[in-house]
Amino acid sequence: MKPLWIAVLLSSAGAAMAEPLSFDAHAIGQPPAGWICGATGRGSPKWTVEADASVGHPVLKQAGNATFPWCVKDDIALDDGWVEVRFRPLAGREDQAGGLVWRWKDGDNYYVARANALENNVSLYHTTGGSRRTIEYKDAPVAKNTWHTLRVDFKDTAIRVSMDGKVYIDLKDDHIRGAGKAGVWTKADSVTLFDAFAAGRGP
């Protein structure tokens, strides 16, 4: 997968359609077109497309401060499948987190898996009714100012969370069922870059 592309596999009525996108086509300093950006809770998230010399193409950046900022691809509808993203935690006094959301129904109801460079762990949550609840934590090395790859595979109640190719969480949970959107997530004052987002059905 070329890092300058966001490869998104969409599903609807049993059919699948691939739609590759590039942040190159988006206006620098603006939220990405075709994405819904906001936050669960209070605060002012700031999602923008920004140039990044370290990878040589534009990436998605969250630099605001809100309880749980999120940005989801508007035309994804996945029940079972996978989501993956590269993220780079740059700064944050309270948190330095990068995460993925899936089965996103709205800003108050979705699954989220995240890695935290201040806590050195990977965790899985369900957010229902606007409240985030922990499913499982696992210690993991999350280096600051470094690109990492976070991935979630999910089918029915089975959820597997991996970072940099290693599985950290593998369990079953049934809090959120049915198709939903997918995207990325941060926490509090995290300044985080995202690149190479991908989502699809199947393994």
Among candidates 153, 159, 198, which has minimal Cα distance to 175?
159
Q: Which CATH architecture has domain 5-200?
A: Sandwich (2.60)
**What Cα–Cα distance (Å) separates residue 116 from each residue in 60, 123, 163, 197?**
18, 8, 11, 18
Tokens of 190: 């995290």
More confident residue, 10 or 175: 175
pLDDT tens per residue across span 69-125: 999 999 999 999 999 999 999 999 999 999 999 999 999 999 999 999 999 999 999
Q: Which residues pair with 106 in a beta bridge?
A: 109
Q: pTM of the full predicted structure?
A: 0.89
How far apart are alpha carbons 168 and 121 in whole angstroms? 9
**8 A C-beta contact, residue 168 and residue 140:** yes
pLDDT at 44: 96
The domain limits of the chain are 5-200
For 18-78, give the DSSP string. Answer: EEEEEGGGSPTTSPPTTEEEEEEEEEE--EEEE--TTTTS-EEEE-SEEEEEEEEEEEEEE
